[in-house]
Chain A
Amino acid sequence: MKNMKHVLLLTFLALLISAPAFALAKGQIDFADLSSHYGEPKVEINLSSSLMKMIGSFADAEDPEVGNILANLESIKVRVYNLNGKLEKANSTVDTVSSQLRSDNWETLVTVNDNEENQKVRIFSKSTENVIDGVVVMVVSPEKEGGEAVFINIVGEIDPEQISKVTETLDIDIN
């Protein structure tokens, strides 16, 4: 009985110590489950804070404002999946993730449901004390062949209006 107590205590301590390793940073979501639905993503991007700072420092020379915007970002994750015509499954996943985000006190910014075209757009943000910690963008679009699902998670302070400023400075052609 005494041994059992020791084992339980040790297990509890081990869980307590390992908990931060599994915890996600503020504004961050886990995309791990999505691969189990759609297989390997077509596009997978993981930009860490160090890389963001590096890009920011280079952009800083051209435009300090853009450098500041990029330096405030902690990470960017992008997953793009080919749907091969299975848009319904993607739409149900978007709904599931949306309900999870709402239960985690994420704020809905944009909700688009186009039932005719089977298209969905969800944009969520999470903020603490008027500072945005993260943004999640989910798009299911039949525009590309077979359909495409896009999941984006941006962690850090971001103003959607500033995105155009970044794209202009980095000379990125959006279309």
Chain B
Amino acid sequence: MKHNESEYLDKLFATSSDVTDEVEVDIPQAELTEGLTEKLYGIAETLPESAKPAQSELIAQVSQGAGAKIFAFPKYAAVAASLFVAVMGFQFYQQQKTLRQLEQAQADLATALHYLGEANRIARSEVLGSLQDNMQKAAVKPAVRMSRDALMPKFNDREFENKPRNHSL
């Protein structure tokens, strides 16, 4: 039994060392510089041509994977742009509507104030006319009274002088 075990272990180690050798054969030994980037580029450069992926394969991989989002960006951009234009257009429309409302309101206010001014003008002219009439009356009446009072004695005298003549008739 022990013999069998030792045989098995020898066989196992022998095959594992073979595998290690095979791997060492596939990966080329390269003298790499110290920087990490340089080391990585160095590995890529030392790979055989058959092991390197083709340019077309790379493009296919990019278009199918994360890069697909980058290639789909124009679609999103177009949607975003159209949305932006729509929002801007709506804002412009709203502004124009508000401006029109404002212009209409200003015109209405102008009309209202025009009629208010008309009412004010009529009232003022009527009040001034009435005041002038009253002032004229107030000035003319005393003048008439004064002249009448002044003329009255003479009139009475004449009436007295005429009386005897009538009597004689």
Binding site for B on A (CB under 8 A): 43, 45, 47, 51-52, 54-55, 58, 76, 78, 80, 110, 112, 114, 119, 121, 123, 137, 139, 141, 150, 152, 154, 160, 163, 166-167, 170, 172, 174
- Describe B's contact surface by its main secondary structure: helix
Q: Given the interface contacts A54-B102, A163-B116, does A112 sit within 8 Å of B111 by beta carbon?
A: no
* Contact B102 A58, beta carbon cutoff 8 Å: yes
* Contact A137 B116, beta carbon cutoff 8 Å: yes
* Contact A110 B105, beta carbon cutoff 8 Å: no
- What residues of chain B lie closer than 8 Å to A170, measured between beta carbons? 106, 109-110, 113
Stretch among B28-36, B40-48, B119-127, B148-156 lining the A interface: B119-127
**Does chain A have a CB within 8 A of B91?**
no
The 9 tightest CB contacts between A and B, nearest first, are A174-B117, A112-B126, A51-B105, A172-B110, A45-B108, A121-B123, A139-B119, A78-B112, A137-B119
**Does chain A have a CB within 8 A of B38?**
no
**Does chain A have a CB within 8 A of B118?**
yes
* Contact B115 A80, beta carbon cutoff 8 Å: yes
Query: From A143, which residue of chain B is reached at the shortest CB distance?
Result: B122
- What residues of chain B lie closer than 8 Å to A76, measured between beta carbons? 108-109, 112
**Does chain A have a CB within 8 A of B101?**
yes
Within 8 A of A (CB), among B76-118: 98, 101-102, 105-106, 108-118
* Contact B105 A166, beta carbon cutoff 8 Å: no
* Contact A163 B117, beta carbon cutoff 8 Å: yes
Q: Given the interface contacts A139-B118, A172-B114, does A55 sit within 8 Å of B109 by beta carbon?
A: yes
- What residues of chain B lie closer than 8 Å to A123, measured between beta carbons? 119, 123
Indicate which residue in A58, A112, A114, A150 contacts B115 across the interface (CB closer than 8 Å): A150
A43-B115, A110-B127, A150-B115 known; 6 new pairs, CB 8 Å cut-off, are A112-B127, A114-B126, A163-B113, A163-B117, A170-B113, A174-B117
Docked complex Cα distance between A156 and B85 (Å): 42
- What residues of chain B lie closer than 8 Å to A110, measured between beta carbons? 123, 127
* Contact A152 B120, beta carbon cutoff 8 Å: no
In the assembled complex, the CB of B115 is this many whole angstroms from the nearest CB of chain A, namely: 5
Docked complex Cα distance between A114 and B121 (Å): 14
Docked complex Cα distance between A154 and B27 (Å): 96
* Contact B115 A78, beta carbon cutoff 8 Å: yes
* Contact B113 A172, beta carbon cutoff 8 Å: yes
Q: Given the interface contacts A43-B111, A139-B118, A163-B117, does A55 sit within 8 Å of B106 by beta carbon?
A: yes
In the assembled complex, the CB of B133 is this many whole angstroms from the nearest CB of chain A, namely: 12
Per-residue interface assignment for chain B, residues 119 to 151, with 1 indicating a CB less than 8 Å from any chain A CB and 0 otherwise: 111110011000000000000000000000000
Docked complex Cα distance between A80 and B112 (Å): 10
